[in-house]
Amino acid sequence: MLNRITKYVGRIAAMGAVAFVLAGCGINTVPTQDEQVKAMWSEVLNQYQRRADLVPNLVATVKGYAKQEQTVFTQVTEARAKATQMVLPDDILSNPKAFQQFEQNQAQLGGALGRLLAVSEAYPDLKSSQNFLALQSQLEGTENRISVARRDYIEAVRVYNTTLRTIPSRWIAAIFYPSAKPYQTFTISEKEQQTPQVSF
């Protein structure tokens, strides 16, 4: 009887030692970082949705003052529709084509909003409207939040992708998480990388 108890205790101790070694070698690193990336991605989506929700009020406010700027209103409305109606596949983070399409749609909306705000410069009454100023302030705050959310997402992806590419975590991922793939991150277009030309 004592021999059986000793064997049982020995097995439990061995399993505990194996679990301790596996936990210490980073076996949980891949799923932990994967969840971190997904959480950061959710925040990016939340901030883009916040911006999209501001668009109808902003367009309506500007429309009241600048009725002749119909082309700009149409561009903003179409860009918002394209950005909000895109169906995001489950694998968007590891699907370069879908991720790039999402990024392009959001960039188009950002560009259209920039043109809309530029239109406001020509209408002093609009620029002094409290409603417009509040919406403009909310939009600026949202753009800042988008920048922070994108930065945090990029950093989480960098850490995760590095884990998948470096040894020994690469081996652990191959054995225990064979479906783990590197995630996509935001890029800057060549046009955005060019230095603006200033002429006097």
- What pLDDT was estimated at residue 194? 52
pLDDT class of 199 with cuts at 50, 70, 90: very low
Q: What is the mean pLDDT of the chain?
A: 86
Least confident of 13-27, 47-61, 84-98: 13-27
Rounded to an integer, what distance in angstroms lies between the CA atom of residue 85 and that of residue 93?
18
- What pLDDT was estimated at residue 122? 84
The answer to whether the CB of 169 falls within 8 A of the CB of 26 is: yes
Rounded to an integer, what distance in angstroms lies between the CA atom of residue 127 and that of residue 20?
63
Rounded to an integer, what distance in angstroms lies between the CA atom of residue 17 and that of residue 165?
27
CA nearest neighbour of 105 among 87, 79, 74: 79
CA dist 188 → 14, 84, 130, 179, 191 (Å): 52, 21, 34, 28, 8
| pLDDT of residue 191 exceeding 70 | no
- What pLDDT was estimated at residue 152? 97
How many beta carbons lie within 10 A of that of residue 123, not counting itself? 16
Fold of 28-188: de novo design (two linked rop proteins) (1.20.1440)
pLDDT class of 196 with cuts at 50, 70, 90: very low
- What pLDDT was estimated at residue 200? 35
The answer to whether the CB of 168 falls within 8 A of the CB of 27 is: no
Mean pLDDT score, 111-124:
88
What are the pLDDT digits (tens) for 28-77?
999 999 999 999 999 999 999 999 999 999 999 988 888 778 888 999 99
- What pLDDT was estimated at residue 67? 78
Q: In this structure, what token pair is assigned to residue 157?
A: 């992806």
Whether the pTM exceeds 0.95: the reply is no
Mean pLDDT score, 141-166:
96
Residue 76: enclosing H or E segment and its boundaries?
Answer: helix 70-85
Domain residue ranges of the chain, discontinuous segments joined by +:
28-188
